[in-house]
Chains A and B, each alone.
Chain A
Amino acid sequence: MTQSVTQTKQTNSSPPALRLRGITKRFPGVVANDNVDLTVDAGEVLALLGENGAGKSTLISILYGLYQPDEGTVELRGQPVRVTSPAQALKLGIGLVPQHPLLVARHTVAENLALGGGSGLFPARGVAGRVRELSGKYGLEVNPQARVSDLSPGEKQRVEIVRALMRGAQVLILDEPTSVLTPQEADALFRVMRELKADGRSLIFISHKLDEVLAVADRVTVLRRGKVVGGRDTAGATREDLAEMMVGRSVDFTRKRLAAARPETPLLTVRNLTALGARGLPALRGVSFELRQGEVLGVAGIAGNGQSELVEVLAGLHASGGEVTLAGQPLTGNADERFRGGVAHIPEDRIHSGTVPTMTVAENLALRDYARAPLARGLARDLAATDARARQDVEAYAVATPGIHTPSRLLSGGNIQKLILARELNGSPKLILAVHPTYGLDIGATDQVHRVLLERTEGGAGVLLVSEDLDELLSLSDRIGVMVGGELRGPFPVAEVTRESLGMMMGGAHPTVIPGADQGVIA
């Protein structure tokens, strides 16, 4: 292993660490990869760019042995290989940090990491040490004893990264690893990536965030509709250049929300909200704020500081103490009643709660209204009406899908999100709870989502925007609050905060805040 690394590092004429030749993969109704050629050298970070559904995940699934290509070959250091399973990919030194974590929810982090890698009766034991070592070394905070079901998506992703590192991957693939990371965590990841690169490993990196791509990648390859449509070194490139290569037109990156005179009518009033989190510990410790009509209120924070609970409480999914009123009326009832009362919810976890992956696109679009007219007549569902609604939504939100009867599981991440948006924004919600609404979306789709949300505010809707993407918060919000340890700092008018000041507050830089305080703080 080590010899080959030094070899490739020193000889320039040696074959690339990884080469794909003429990879083609067809699915019913789409050619996901169309004659794709691609190379990555040792000690290089290649960014794979492309719109939602361009075929990035498919390509790396082939590389990782999850799919077999219909045509084409994979070569490692000049040797053709057949990657027939993930187990084999790992043996060949190809590691993957998947877009959606594949962890066993009921097990602890250490047990998950030991799966398939450890040995003996108590495989998790030796692992804990290794995890601490790796997480200490790279600043990837992971508690080996934590149960996976208690982790936020961001934390799960970190576990996946540690897992791939533990297996000593020579080619490491990261499918949108930063989508749920805070800027600090993302920076930490980039440091890891640079070290791995300096080690002579090859990295393939998928991201829709072009700043990151410019910061960490050496070269980009761009896919569009399954085909490679271009590539270049990142040196000297700008965001605009990359965006244009991806979507084939120029893209505007300026702040979208132009400060406007806002009506001062309160829409949502939250007083002294308290709630317990997963471990029975206080997750919300007296949160109060007001969201006005037509306002976008941003909520920043590191995952696990109470944002999930705040949204769940407002959506009717989580018990709480305190007072909440919407348009003057107390906000009560279960999730369905609240949805009908005008509360839309774009959930954090689009696979495990936002959709039923085995159900079709049309069925998923009916998830909120399946039992009501026009989608139902009495006890019977109206399948024609369901399909008609689905066709309309798919069209209006440009959901790329082979058909409305395709299981939603087969859609790309971005398209699943569009499906959820289409469903939630149907009707005219008064309050939109949006959690990472553009997580995993390409720039075109992100732009579309942002425009839709802002459009809704013009109609008087209020948006509670929870995001770990500070740029998104800064470009959309009127005011931004920061959740730290179950308390809300602010909200502050957007003009009074910066990326840096928000980042500081998220880290707990406030005299009275104990970062990560978990036990014994509250009586």
Chain B
Amino acid sequence: MRFTALSAPSAARAAWVTLAAVVVALLLCALIFVFYGVSPGTVYGTMLRGTLGDSTGLAEVARRTIPLLLIGSGLALAFRAQFFNIGAEGQLLLGAVFAAGTGLFVPLPGPLLLPAMFIMGAVGGGLWAGIAAWLRRLNVNEILSTLMLNYIAVAVVTYLIAGPWKGKEVRGYIYTDLFPENGFLAVIPGTQVHWPTLVLGVAGALALQWVLSRSTFGYALRVVGENPGAARYVGLSAGRVATTVALITGGMAGLAGAGEVAGIHHRLLEAGQLSLGYGFTAVIVAWLARGNPALCLITAPVMAIILAGGDLLKIDLNMPFRVVDVFSGVILLCLISSEVFIRNRVTWGTGRPAGSKANG
């Protein structure tokens, strides 16, 4: 097996390699299930039937698509600028905190409350990512800082719901009181699909795609991401671009957090219940989309199916709750490995002269 570098990998090639990576990942997971003692047929059958098979399943998928789409499209943009934000989880939580704080404590006339909650959610998420951007200017790697900020965000949420914001009506539990009715977001009846956030996510993904490909900022972002030397040469401040990107990404994650509390929980509760690992799964969403926010419209539902299907496995097949992480992990691994197939053509077989062995 030999690799030949491709000078211009096409978009079509990227698409089919990505697809192949997902298929390989699913096959690898199947193997894991065999070892675990469950037939892969049963597993995938359960997942598919339970997610795409009926309206409840579809609603579960849609519900998970919402935060994945918001966060994923923001991350896609960040990755294009080589700002490796893996702290979307924390930014989502801070968004939830800011939105909940607004819902609980700011007396606003009815129709203004929800918009205010979303705006504050975006501010909260943006602020959290902004800290990482600021630290980056002090030469702190954003991968580390965003990761650490996740833990701090969890601590902030726990502190608030167990301490100052602990609800008056709740006894032993740790969560806040419910928001006033005006702070409840509309849902598709009978489901937890808060459709206004979904609309926001679709609009956001398209808007970010426009930013990337059509706006002057998107151009600057690509220059910074693709050749920092050229950015310096034309006097583009990489720090400013990174900060803006961080604020946008964090803001998108914050919106997701606001959507979760306003649309589903109607209160601030424990971090583990607020986010089902959306911030991490969204990294895969962005990667599958190869840095194109609009493509998250496809990749977010795909990952949502896996998240929702994974939850079914826990319930229906009594599998360990980490099963979703296995999926995510294997898919991510396959995606990372697939990069080499996008950039290189692979040829099989011999054809090399005698006496030379094992190259590459």
> What is the bound-complex CA distance between A92 and B220, given in angstroms?
45
**Chain A residues, CB < 8 A from B8:** 28, 407, 410
Q: Is the CB of A370 within 8 A of B219?
A: yes
> What is the bound-complex CA distance between A359 and B214, given in angstroms?
14
> What is the bound-complex CA distance between A358 and B8, given in angstroms?
9
Most chain B beta carbons < 10 A, residue from A345, A356, A379, A410: A356
- A85, A345, A349: the one contacting B359 at CB < 8 Å is A85
Shortest A152–chain B CB gap in Å is 15
Chain A contacts with B in 443-496, Cβ cutoff 8 A = none
Main secondary structure of the interface of B (DSSP, over half): mixed
Q: Provided the pairs A66-B5, A356-B222, A356-B227 are in contact, do residues A317 and B214 lie with their beta carbons within 8 angstroms?
A: no
**A82 sits at the interface (CB 8 A):** yes
Q: Provided the pairs A82-B351, A352-B229, A371-B220 are in contact, do residues A379 and B215 lie with their beta carbons within 8 angstroms?
A: yes
Q: Is the CB of A358 within 8 A of B216?
A: no
- B7, B214, B359: the one contacting A91 at CB < 8 Å is B359
**Chain B residues, CB < 8 A from A357:** 226-227
Shortest A153–chain B CB gap in Å is 13
Q: Is the CB of A68 within 8 A of B222?
A: no
> What is the bound-complex CA distance between A482 and B234, given in angstroms?
27
**Chain A residues, CB < 8 A from B356:** 88, 91-92
**A337 sits at the interface (CB 8 A):** yes
> What is the bound-complex CA distance between A303 and B226, given in angstroms?
27
Q: Provided the pairs A91-B356, A353-B229, A367-B230 are in contact, do residues A334 and B7 lie with their beta carbons within 8 angstroms?
A: no
> What is the bound-complex CA distance between A366 and B220, given in angstroms?
11
**A347 sits at the interface (CB 8 A):** yes
**B235 sits at the interface (CB 8 A):** yes
**Chain A residues, CB < 8 A from B232:** 317, 335, 353
Q: Is the CB of B359 within 8 A of A370?
A: no
Q: Provided the pairs A355-B230, A356-B223, A359-B222 are in contact, do residues A88 and B359 lie with their beta carbons within 8 angstroms?
A: yes
**A502 sits at the interface (CB 8 A):** no
> What is the bound-complex CA distance between A56 and B42, given in angstroms?
59
Q: Is the CB of B7 within 8 A of A410?
A: yes
**Chain A residues, CB < 8 A from B360:** 85, 87
**A380 sits at the interface (CB 8 A):** yes
- Give the interface size class of chain A: 35 or more
**Chain B residues, CB < 8 A from A92:** 353, 356
- A82, A338, A379: the one contacting B216 at CB < 8 Å is A379
Q: Is the CB of A85 within 8 A of B2?
A: yes
**B4 sits at the interface (CB 8 A):** yes
**Chain A residues, CB < 8 A from B351:** 82, 84
**Chain A residues, CB < 8 A from B226:** 356-359
Q: Is the CB of A336 within 8 A of B216?
A: no
Q: Is the CB of B216 within 8 A of A353?
A: no
Task: Please name the residue on chain A nearest to B211 by beta carbon.
Answer: A379
**A440 sits at the interface (CB 8 A):** no
**Chain A residues, CB < 8 A from B229:** 349, 352-353
Shortest B139–chain A CB gap in Å is 15
Q: Is the CB of A358 within 8 A of B215?
A: no
**B168 sits at the interface (CB 8 A):** no
Task: Please name the residue on chain B nearest to A370 by beta carbon.
Answer: B219
Q: Is the CB of A316 within 8 A of B235?
A: yes
Q: Is the CB of B214 within 8 A of A381?
A: yes
Q: Is the CB of A339 within 8 A of B234?
A: yes
Task: Please name the residue on chain A nearest to B10 by beta carbon.
Answer: A28
Contact mask A328-355 → B, CB, 8 Å, 1/0?
Answer: 0000001111110000010101001111
**Chain B residues, CB < 8 A from A367:** 223, 230, 234
- B214, B230, B235: the one contacting A356 at CB < 8 Å is B230
Task: Please name the residue on chain B nearest to A379 by beta carbon.
Answer: B215
**B233 sits at the interface (CB 8 A):** yes
Shortest A317–chain B CB gap in Å is 6
**B319 sits at the interface (CB 8 A):** no
Q: Provided the pairs A84-B4, A85-B2, A356-B230 are in contact, do residues A336 and B214 lie with their beta carbons within 8 angstroms?
A: no
Shortest B349–chain A CB gap in Å is 11
**Chain A residues, CB < 8 A from B215:** 379-381
**Chain B residues, CB < 8 A from A366:** 219
Shortest A58–chain B CB gap in Å is 10
**Chain B residues, CB < 8 A from A410:** 7-8
Shortest B228–chain A CB gap in Å is 9
Most chain A beta carbons < 10 A, residue from B2, B3, B5, B234: B234
Most chain B beta carbons < 10 A, residue from A92, A380, A383: A380
Shortest A134–chain B CB gap in Å is 25
**Chain B residues, CB < 8 A from A379:** 215-217
Q: Is the CB of A352 within 8 A of B227?
A: yes
**B52 sits at the interface (CB 8 A):** no
> What is the bound-complex CA distance between A379 and B227, given in angstroms?
22
Contact mask A358-379 → B, CB, 8 Å, 1/0?
Answer: 1100010011101100001001
> What is the bound-complex CA distance between A87 and B229, given in angstroms?
29
**B352 sits at the interface (CB 8 A):** yes
Chain B contacts with A in 191-236, Cβ cutoff 8 A = 214-220, 222-223, 226-227, 229-230, 232-236
**Chain A residues, CB < 8 A from B2:** 84-85
Q: Is the CB of A347 within 8 A of B233?
A: yes
- A27, A85, A339: the one contacting B235 at CB < 8 Å is A339
Q: List 18 A-B contacts (CB under 8 A).
A: A82-B352, A84-B4, A88-B359, A316-B235, A317-B233, A336-B234, A337-B235, A339-B235, A352-B227, A352-B230, A356-B222, A359-B222, A366-B219, A367-B230, A370-B216, A370-B219, A380-B214, A381-B215
The 3 A-B pairs with the shortest beta carbon distances in the complex, nearest first, are A335-B235, A336-B235, A334-B235
Chain B positions within 8 Å of A, measured between CB atoms, are: 2-5, 7-8, 214-220, 222-223, 226-227, 229-230, 232-236, 347, 351-353, 356, 359-360
In the complex, besides A336-B235, A358-B227, 5 extra interface pairs with C-beta distance below 8 angstroms are A84-B359, A85-B2, A336-B234, A349-B229, A371-B219
Chain A positions within 8 Å of B, measured between CB atoms, are: 27-28, 66-68, 79, 81-82, 84-85, 87-88, 91-92, 316-317, 334-339, 345, 347, 349, 352-359, 363, 366-368, 370-371, 376, 379-381, 383, 407, 409-410
